Structure 1
């Protein structure tokens, strides 16, 4: 009858195996941690884009409703909305560029003081041009909604109703997206965004109509 004997491993080999077993969970933890950080950064960028689009939507729609309160001509309403889109996008881009560039200068100065300038560190620095372009694009996406809603409707009352309806739907969508990305209650966030947008349009409409009536 054959008997098999187990050959004992040398102590150095056992120590190597134990060391590998201890290091494996730590490696998995580091990978998961990096994944969480990357996801968090992406979520912040997406949430900022949603907020920028919401700003473009509310401000442009409010301007259009305000002008429509005193001049119901479709040309005046569309041109005013387009001017608001361009001005708002430029303002957002310039503001974001200046803000991110200031942050970049601060981080570069800190890196030089700590003598940790490297290619990996430089890759993680913020990009002012990218941030400016993203802000302008997000604002424009939101601002185009009321412009498209009003572009092909001649009757003022129908046009104003179409703008309000389109803005309402977009506000609900943007509010829901912002809540999901920020991990907040979706219904409450959507309602807050809706009421805020309605209030902005109503206030702009009312004040412009009041001032326009006194000037005529």
Structure 2
């Protein structure tokens, strides 16, 4: 079996970049919706700019830190699992190389190769880099491209923060008469963009994703605004 072509490597790298980009868009979307819900809810109770800024900043910081921490824990667990699986493969290759060669041959046969070609390919891959061959074919892991929890945490933190800044600025910068309208219009426009972008990155139809995203955001703002108005009227 020949080494992966430049096009195959480029395709894998492109897919990984698209996954990161899609995750960033979804993180920004979360920041938009959650922060918009907070500031619009507070705006239903009061038009005090300081209160709106405080609530928005608190939501931004809490949300971004929560996203970063959750992503760090999740990716750390995934990385630990990958390292453990590689350790098992490394030990099996050391203790029972013939059995591992047969296993690799059968895995390649399951992908459509004949027995003779699969055996030859397995021998060549094993001679070149046995651990990499088994990690790729059997586990779907690239030993040199393990997930990095710090990268994931920072990406989630930044994506959420960027998204959260939009409703925060939209609610505190305009005058009291315009701030709610500016916020709602800005948030809905941003949700249309993030819905369309995430759908395109996932090769899905954009229309349904855009409607779902915009309606979900509108519902979140409506619910929190009504709740804030009721609490404000009650003097809570």
Q: 1:193 aligns with which of 175, 194, 213?
A: 213
Q: 1:205 aligns with which of 225, 230, 233?
A: 225
Aligned to 1:67: 42
Question: What's the secondary structure of 1:183's corresponding residue?
Answer: coil
Instruction: For residues 26-45 of structure 1, give each alpha carbon's deviation from its aligned partner in whole angstroms, at most 9, with x where no partner exists.
Output: 67x73333222222111111
Aligned to 1:37: 12
Alignment of 1:51-66 (within 5 A): 51-66=26-41
Paired with 1:30 and 1:82, the residues of 2 have a C-alpha distance of 48
Deviates further, 103-112 or 203-212: 203-212
Superposed displacement of residue 147, structure 1: 1.6
Superposition TM-score, scaled by structure 1 size: 0.81
Superposed displacement of residue 79, structure 1: 1.4
Superposed displacement of residue 106, structure 1: 0.7
Aligned to 1:94: 69
Superposed displacement of residue 210, structure 1: 2.5
Do 2:36 and 2:187's aligned partners in 1 also have CA atoms closer than 8 Å?
yes
Q: 1:111 aligns with which of 82, 86, 97?
A: 86
The higher relative CO (CA closer than 8 Å, separation ≥ 6) is in 2
**Are residue 50 (structure 1) and residue 50 (structure 2) matched?**
no
Aligned to 2:172: 151
Do 1:74 and 1:154's aligned partners in 2 also have CA atoms closer than 8 Å?
no
CA RMSD, aligned part only?
A: 2.1
Aligned to 1:7: none
Q: 1:133 aligns with which of 154, 174, 181?
A: 154
Paired with 1:152 and 1:59, the residues of 2 have a C-alpha distance of 19
Paired with 1:77 and 1:40, the residues of 2 have a C-alpha distance of 40
Paired with 2:54 and 2:24, the residues of 1 have a C-alpha distance of 25
Q: 2:180 aligns with which of 152, 157, 160?
A: 160
Paired with 2:211 and 2:182, the residues of 1 have a C-alpha distance of 20
Paired with 2:229 and 2:75, the residues of 1 have a C-alpha distance of 39
Aligned residues: 189
Superposition TM-score, scaled by structure 2 size: 0.74
Structure 1: which 5+ residue stretches go unaligned? Answer: 1-22
Paired with 2:231 and 2:171, the residues of 1 have a C-alpha distance of 24
Larger Rg, first or second structure (1 or 2): 1
